[in-house]
C-alpha cells in the first residue's frame, strides 16, 4: 500500500527541516499532502524541505500543482530519490527537476517521462504527408493531439532545467523517447546535483551549499540535526487510495456501467447508487472536478438517497448508499 510520512528535523538552534515522502502514484491526495506540507514549513520558517521520492508517475494536473507550490516556496526544496531501488519515473522526473537541489541514492533511477493519456478515445490522425520521424530519428506521436501534449511536456521540463541550471538536452529524450538514467549517469550528465546513500550523508553534503530561492541566494545550514518523525494524517492516506490512477480508472468504469445498467433496469437501485458514487469519486481522482465540488456532490447525493429511502423502501440499499456517499463527501470537504 501507498505510504507517506512527514518528519520534522530540528538543529541545535531550533530551525527546522521538514521532510515529506512522495510514494506511489501521484494524484490529488499527493498534491494536497505536499502543498500543505510546504505551507506549514513556510509558516514555521523551516530551513529547508526534503522531498523524498519513490514514484512510478501519476496525473499531470497533480504534478503541476506540486511544481507550482515548489516554485513559489520561500523555503528551499531538496528532491531526494531514495532509498536504493526507488525511482522518480514519469511525473517524478518533472518533480525532481523542479527542486532547488536534486539528489539520488545509489541504485535509483529517473526518466521515462513520456505523457500517456488514460482511456483516451480515438483522436484525429496527422496528415499522411507528415513524416513519422523527425531528422533526429526519434519516434513521433501517432496523433496531432499527442504531438501537442509531448511538445508541451518537453517545453515544460526544459524550462525547469533552465531555471535550476541543469542539463537541458537529456529531459527531451526522457519525454520523446522514454529514456531513463541511473543515479551515477544522471550525476555525470548534470541532471542531478548530488548522490547520497542516506539522509545523514545528504544533510552533510547540503551544509553550506548556496541555492537561489526567489531571486535571493540562501546558504543552507544542515549540520547537527535530530530527526523527529510524524505519521501522515488519515485523510491523506484515505484519499491516496481512492485517487490512485489505476483505482480511479476502475471506479470510472464501474460508475459508467452502473448507471447504464440502472437505466436499462430502472427501480433495482444498487447499480445506480454504486455507479453514481463511483463516478463522482473517479471525476475527483482525475481532477475533472475540484475537491469542493466532488465532496459537495457526494454530500447532496447522500442526502438525496437517504431521503429517498424514507419514501421508497429498498431494503436499505438507498440508505446505505446515501450514508457512504455522505461520509466520503464530508471527508473530501475537510481540511
Residue 153: CA atoms inside 13 Å, Cβ hemisphere, count? 30
Q: CA-to-CA distance for 73 and 161, rounded, in angstroms?
A: 17
SS (H, E, C) 8-65: EEEECCCCEEEEEEEECCECHHHHHHHHHHHHHHHHCCCCEEEEEEEECCECHHHHHH
Please identify which of the residues 19, 68, 84, 90 carries the catalytic annotation: 90
CB 94 within 8 A of CB 75: no
Active site residue 90: yes
In the structure grid, which three cell numbers stand for residue 162, read together? 533552465
For residue 75, give the nearest of 161, 162, 9, 17 by alpha carbon.
17
Q: CA-to-CA distance for 246 and 288, rounded, in angstroms?
A: 16
DSSP label of 207: T
Please identify which of the residues 68, 148, 292, 330 carries the catalytic annotation: 148
Residues with catalytic function: 90, 148
Amino acid at each position: 500500500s501507498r505510504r507517506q510520512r512527514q518528519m520534522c528535523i530540528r538543529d541545535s538552534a531550533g530551525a527546522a527541516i521538514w521532510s515529506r515522502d512522495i510514494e506511489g502514484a501521484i494524484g490529488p491526495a499527493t498534491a494536497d499532502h505536499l502543498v500543505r506540507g510546504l505551507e506549514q514549513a513556510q509558516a514555521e520558517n523551516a530551513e529547508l524541505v526534503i522531498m523524498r521520492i519513490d514514484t512510478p508517475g501519476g496525473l499531470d494536473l497533480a504534478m503541476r500543482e506540486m511544481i507550482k507550490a515548489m516554485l513559489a516556496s520561500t523555503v528551499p526544496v531538496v528532491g531526494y530519490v531514495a532509498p536504493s531501488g526507488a525511482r522518480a519515473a514519469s511525473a517524478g522526473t518533472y518533480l525532481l527537476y523542479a527542486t532547488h537541489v536534486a539528489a539520488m541514492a545509489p541504485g535509483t533511477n529517473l526518466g521515462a517521462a513520456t505523457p500517456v493519456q488514460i482511456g483516451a478515445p480515438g483522436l484525429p490522425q496527422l496528415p499522411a504527408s507528415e513524416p513519422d520521424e523527425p531528422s533526429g530519428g526519434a519516434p513521433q506521436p501517432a496523433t496531432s493531439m499527442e504531438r501537442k501534449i509531448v511538445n508541451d511536456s518537453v517545453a515544460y521540463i526544459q524550462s525547469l532545467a533552465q531555471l535550476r541550471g541543469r542539463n537541458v538536452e537529456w529531459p527531451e529524450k526522457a519525454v520523446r523517447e522514454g529514456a531513463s538514467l541511473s543515479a551515477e549517469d544522471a550525476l555525470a550528465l548534470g541532471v542531478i546535483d548530488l548522490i547520497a546513500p542516506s539522509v545523514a550523508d545528504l544533510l552533510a553534503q547540503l551544509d553550506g551549499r548556496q541555492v537561489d530561492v526567489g531571486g535571493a541566494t540562501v546558504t543552507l545550514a544542515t549540520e547537527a540535526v535530530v530527526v523527529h518523525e510524524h505519521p501522515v494524517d488519515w485523510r491523506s492516506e484515505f484519499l491516496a487510495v481512492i485517487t490512485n490512477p489505476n483505482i480511479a480508472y476502475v471506479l470510472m468504469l464501474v460508475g459508467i456501467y452502473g448507471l447504464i445498467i440502472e437505466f436499462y433496469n430502472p427501480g433495482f437501485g444498487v447499480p445506480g447508487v454504486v455507479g453514481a458514487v463511483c463516478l463522482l469519486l473517479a471525476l475527483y481522482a482525475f481532477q475533472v472536478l475540484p475537491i469542493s465540488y466532488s465532496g459537495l456532490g457526494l454530500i447532496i447525493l447522500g442526502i438525496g438517497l437517504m431521503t429517498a429511502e424514507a419514501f421508497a423502501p429498498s431494503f436499505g440499499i438507498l440508505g446505505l448508499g446515501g450514508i457512504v456517499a455522505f461520509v466520503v463527501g464530508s471527508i473530501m470537504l475537510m481540511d
